[in-house]
């Protein structure tokens, strides 16, 4: 650790991360409440996950017109999206536009990685240190570190001996990687690998995809957004946003009210065909019970399996690409542009590494149990240490020196995904235990930021300076979140990152809240209305003076 310097700044709130969450949190606390706020960001620019994820084909799976902020009508009227699914560069341009419009950059320190944060009980302050030795103190510590930002690079023996180049998709270079004439190996077939495969295949001499688990994917049907459609969306924004907030997943469409089992086979097929043609994550909304009833889900899973077999010409490859070990959408479903079609190309091959696992990386390429593949470039599309990884990569210490790592040794435990018991005045935007990754992220982010802002405002109005989660409320919330997950099929995907199963040694806990975005937001509203039920609020005085009474804000 760098030598400590005196705290360079005393702040009201310190925010870690300058993605969607950090930018909006800075805006509300600084511009609405007038607080002294600083954002610390490891990257050299705004964007969060979109700052790092620049791999070929990287684009959002939510549609552009609603993968955006809703808090400013002026903003949503000014900005125009080019594509139905925005590409990573377009999202960065958007977030830079937001930073410019709201003059946010002056309070963001870039190239500044937070290494530790410790709660000082006596001073009722968080002390934060950065990699380059800066020291800052703040009353509130707000993590806006993203759910999918800690790259998961598998520890495959021999990587250091590889003579070629290798990249993780979540840490992609800023300059495009040239695949022309190269033999490329890509490991991983989640949303990322499925987006990257068709784009790399168009450039590379040969692409070998190393697949551990076959995945379902729905065509995205990406394309430009016509002017006329943009105008219609802008005219209808209030209703679109309202629908997004009322929905299960923060998307502005409702799930069909019928069961997949209540319609005739012909009607069901027609509905799936229409949803397939329309494309996108909306496919999940074709029937109400796809995620809660295995028999209903089987109809969707079978439909997609049949599509894969009809698209992929070589029956052996088609069979390898057909998912059999988990129900559709129990792992985050990817959407694609010509993913399965890409395996009909002569320069693309598929290796089933469940049947023949990777043994090592050699100077020349990848060696599986059965063969060695000579490669010039290896692309790891192997995902993230999701949700807890970005928080645990910082040495966070709460009361009595308790580390977050100790507190979460058996998996993350929070109240509402907003606070951890023993870590007063620390808020975790889209933390584990909140809907977060099961939703269209900007909706979940705005809801959390608005809740935190209101909470801090209420505390200030009441002369309160400390808020902490009641351990009993954490117990109840963890039990409720487990019940919510178990009421769905989601925990059935054994290798899902929702469960932490993709990272060896990580505790298996279903991390996001599966009870639905609208329902969750209503619970948070009730908590506020009941005087921050489940939180303990107080106004401790500095040492030497009488401690404040526990109090509750109304």
What is the DSSP annotation of 109-149?
Answer: E-S--EEEEEEETTTTEEEEEETTS-EEEEEEEEE---SS-
Q: Is 88 in the site for ligand NAP (CB under 6 A)?
A: no
CB-wise, 300 or 353, nearer to ligand NAP? Answer: 353
Q: Considering only 190-198, 363-371, 396-404, 424-432, which stretch makes contact with ligand NAP by CB under 6 A? A: 190-198
CB-wise, 141 or 381, nearer to ligand NAP? Answer: 381
Q: Is 189 in the site for ligand NAP (CB under 6 A)?
A: yes
Among residues 27, 30, 212, 506, the one that binds ligand NAP under rule CB under 6 A:
212
Judge whether 366 and 372 are in contact, CB under 8 Å: yes
343 phi and psi, to 5 degrees?
-75, 0
CB-wise, 215 or 425, nearer to ligand NAP? Answer: 215
- The contact mask relative to ligand NAP for 434-453 (x = CB under 6 A, - = no) is ---x----------------
Q: What angle do CA 534, 539, 541 make, to 5 degrees?
A: 145
Among residues 148, 296, 387, 521, the one that binds ligand NAP under rule CB under 6 A:
148
Contacts of ligand NAP in 4-63 (CB under 6 A): 59-61
Least distance (Å) from ligand NAP to the CB of residue 378? 12
Q: Is 191 in the site for ligand NAP (CB under 6 A)?
A: yes
* Count of residues making up the chain: 554
Q: Is 193 in the site for ligand NAP (CB under 6 A)?
A: yes
- The contact mask relative to ligand NAP for 399-438 (x = CB under 6 A, - = no) is --------------------------------------x-
**Count of Cβ atoms closer than 10 Å to residue 179 Cβ:** 20
Rounded to 10 degrees, what is the CA torsion of 207, 211, 216, 220?
Answer: -30
Q: 205 to each of 222, 346, 366, 552, how far by Cα in Å?
A: 26, 10, 17, 65
Q: Considering only 7-15, 264-272, 304-312, 378-386, which stretch makes contact with ligand NAP by CB under 6 A? A: 378-386
C-alpha 157, offset from chain centre: 29
Q: Is 381 in the site for ligand NAP (CB under 6 A)?
A: yes
What span, in angstroms and rounded, lies between the C-alpha atoms of 333 and 527?
A: 32
Q: 63 to each of 24, 53, 245, 441, how far by Cα in Å?
A: 20, 18, 15, 12
Q: How would you classify the pairing of strands 125-130 and 135-143?
A: antiparallel
Q: 35 to each of 12, 14, 24, 69, 456, how far by Cα in Å?
A: 6, 10, 14, 22, 10
Count of residues binding ligand NAP (CB under 6 A)? 25
Least distance (Å) from ligand NAP to the CB of residue 191? 4
CB-wise, 63 or 468, nearer to ligand NAP? Answer: 63
Q: Considering only 188-196, 243-251, 395-403, 408-416, which stretch makes contact with ligand NAP by CB under 6 A? A: 188-196
CB-wise, 150 or 425, nearer to ligand NAP? Answer: 150
Q: Considering only 15-23, 94-102, 192-200, 450-458, which stretch makes contact with ligand NAP by CB under 6 A? A: 192-200
E-assigned strand segments in 301-371? 335-336, 348-352, 358-362, 365-368
Among residues 134, 143, 213, 249, the one that binds ligand NAP under rule CB under 6 A:
213
Contacts of ligand NAP in 168-187 (CB under 6 A): 187
Q: Is 382 in the site for ligand NAP (CB under 6 A)?
A: yes
Q: Is 12 exposed, middle or buried (0-12, 13-18, 19+ CB in 10 A)?
A: middle
What span, in angstroms and rounded, lies between the C-alpha atoms of 408 and 16?
A: 20
Q: Is 190 in the site for ligand NAP (CB under 6 A)?
A: yes
Q: Is 502 in the site for ligand NAP (CB under 6 A)?
A: yes
**Count of Cβ atoms closer than 10 Å to residue 277 Cβ:** 9
CB-wise, 384 or 427, nearer to ligand NAP? Answer: 384
Q: Is 188 in the site for ligand NAP (CB under 6 A)?
A: yes
* Closest to 86 (Cα-Cα) out of 224, 279, 190, 191: 224
Q: Is 332 in the site for ligand NAP (CB under 6 A)?
A: yes
Least distance (Å) from ligand NAP to the CB of residue 281? 9
Residue ranges that bind ligand NAP, judged by CB under 6 A: 59-61, 148, 154, 187-193, 195, 212-213, 332, 353, 381-384, 437, 495, 497, 502
């Amino acid at each position: 650790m760098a030598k400590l310097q005196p705290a360079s700044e005393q702040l009201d709130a310190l925010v870690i991360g300058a993605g969607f969450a950090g930018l909006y949190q800075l805006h509300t606390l600084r511009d609405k409440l007038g607080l002294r706020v600083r954002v610390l960001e490891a990257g050299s620019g705004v964007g969060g996950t979109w700052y790092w994820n620049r791999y070929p084909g990287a684009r959002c799976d939510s549609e552009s017109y609603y993968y955006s902020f809703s808090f400013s009508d002026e903003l949503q009227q000014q900005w125009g999206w080019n594509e139905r699914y925005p590409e990573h560069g377009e999202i960065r341009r958007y977030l830079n536009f937001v930073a410019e419009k709201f003059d946010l950059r002056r309070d963001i320190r870039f190239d500044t990685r937070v290494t530790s944060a410790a709660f000082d009980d006596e001073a009722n302050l968080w002390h934060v240190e950065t990699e380059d030795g800066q020291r800052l103190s703040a009353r509130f510590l707000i993590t806006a570190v993203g759910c999918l930002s800690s790259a998961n690079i598998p520890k495959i023996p021999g990587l250091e001996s590889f003579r070629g180049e290798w990249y993780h998709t979540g840490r992609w270079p800023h300059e495009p990687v040239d695949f022309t004439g190269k033999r490329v190996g890509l490991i991983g077939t989640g949303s990322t690998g499925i987006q990257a495969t068709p784009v790399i295949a168009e450039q590379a001499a040969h692409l070998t995809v190393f697949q551990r688990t076959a995945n379902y994917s729905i065509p995205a049907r990406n394309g430009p957004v016509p002017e006329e459609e943009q105008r219609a969306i802008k005219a209808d924004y209030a209703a679109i946003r309202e629908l997004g907030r009322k929905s299960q997943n923060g998307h502005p469409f409702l799930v069909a009210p019928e069961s997949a089992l209540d319609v005739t086979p012909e009607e069901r097929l027609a509905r799936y065909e229409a949803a397939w043609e329309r494309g996108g994550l909306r496919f999940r909304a074709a029937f109400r019970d796809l995620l809660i009833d295995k028999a209903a889900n089987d109809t969707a899973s079978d439909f997609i399996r049949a599509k894969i077999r009809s698209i992929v010409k070589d029956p052996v490859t088609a069979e390898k690409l057909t998912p059999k070990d988990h129900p559709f959408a129990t792992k985050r479903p990817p959407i694609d542009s010509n993913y399965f079609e890409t395996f009909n190309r002569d320069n693309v091959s598929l290796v089933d590494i469940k049947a023949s696992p990777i043994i090592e990386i050699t100077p020349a390429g990848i060696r599986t149990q059965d063969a060695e593949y000579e490669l010039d470039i290896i692309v790891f599309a192997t995902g993230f240490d999701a949700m807890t990884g970005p928080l645990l990569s910082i040495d966070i210490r709460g009361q009595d020196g308790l580390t977050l790592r100790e507190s979460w040794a058996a998996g993350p435990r929070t109240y509402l995904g907003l606070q951890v018991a023993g870590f007063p005045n620390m808020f975790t935007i889209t933390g584990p235990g909140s809907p977060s990754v099961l939703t269209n992220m900007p909706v979940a982010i705005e809801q959390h930021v608005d809740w935190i802002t209101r909470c801090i405002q209420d505390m200030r109005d009441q002369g309160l300076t400390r808020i902490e989660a009641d351990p009993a409320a954490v117990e109840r919330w963890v039990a409720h979140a487990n019940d919510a997950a178990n009421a769905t099929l989601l925990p059935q995907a054994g290798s899902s990152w929702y469960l932490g199963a993709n990272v060896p040694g990580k505790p298996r806990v279903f991390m996001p809240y599966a009870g639905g975005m609208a329902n969750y937001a209503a619970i948070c509203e009730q908590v506020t209305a009941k005087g921050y039920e489940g939180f303990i609020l107080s106004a401790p005085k500095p040492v030497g003076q009488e401690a404040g009474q526990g109090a509750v804000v109304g």
